[in-house]
């Protein structure tokens, strides 16, 4: 059993860059790229699939707003959006959170496959190497 307090339930107010009644936005403490942002429900919930409809809609509304802010501030070329739901999916904080990861031209050699690279042997489906 984890006795440490949830880092998302104990966020200092200055970390919150936007919020609504049911969710909040912060910048990731360990960013993958400049502007890496998290959208987090205020209620402590482990899985996206345990959220109620209002929480999901609140998170999606903040996701869209956060994208507009990142477009203006960082001017990325694209985005990855993702949720690690469960330990086997890589979730390390047991409070659901959605990643909005800005992507930039040249940040990786070949971005094709995107999130498919979570399982590298399954990522490349467009060449003979991937078949």
- The residues with which 101 forms a beta bridge, in sequence order, are 80
Closest-CA residue to 47 (of 88, 81, 15, 11): 88
Closest-CA residue to 37 (of 56, 55, 15): 15
Residues labelled catalytic: 97
């Amino acid at each position: 059993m984890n006795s440490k307090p949830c880092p998302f339930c104990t966020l200092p107010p200055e970390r919150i860059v936007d919020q609504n009644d049911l969710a909040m936005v912060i910048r990731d403490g360990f960013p993958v790229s400049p502007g890496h942002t998290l959208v987090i429900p205020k209620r402590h919930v482990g899985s996206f699939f345990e959220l109620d409809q209002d929480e999901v809609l609140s998170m999606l509304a903040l996701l869209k707003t956060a994208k507009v802010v990142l477009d203006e501030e960082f001017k990325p070329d694209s985005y990855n959006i993702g949720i690690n739901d469960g330990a086997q999916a890589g979730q390390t904080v047991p409070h659901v959170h959605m990643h909005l990861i800005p992507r930039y031209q040249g940040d990786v050699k070949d971005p094709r496959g995107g999130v498919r690279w979570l399982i590298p042997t399954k990522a490349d489906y467009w060449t003979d190497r991937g078949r």
